[in-house]
Structure formats: C-alpha cells, structure tokens
Amino acid sequence: MLTLDDFIEAGACPCGGALERIRTGWRCTRCGWEVVEAGGDA
C-alpha cells in the first residue's frame, strides 16, 4: 500500500504529474493537487 510519503519521496503525484516544492508543502505541476505539510505556522 502506497502512502503519501511514498509519492513525496518519488516526487510524483498519483495523477502521474510531478510534485514541486511550495511554501506550504508540495503541489502537482499537472493537476494542481496540493500536499500541505504539518507543523510550522500552517
């Protein structure tokens, strides 16, 4: 079973797009899906 961390480590979104680092976490360059990391001032 894949976890969210597996996708982040691979740098890939479930849609097949690439994840890019943004201020609050990660965003897919293909579908726009965002992963917000816990902690900080979120």
Report whether pLDDT(41) > 70.
Answer: no
DSSP labels for 1-41?
A: ---HHHHHHHTB-TTS-BEEEETTEEEETTT--EEEPSSTT
pLDDT in tens, 2-30: 888 898 899 999 999 999 999 999 999 99
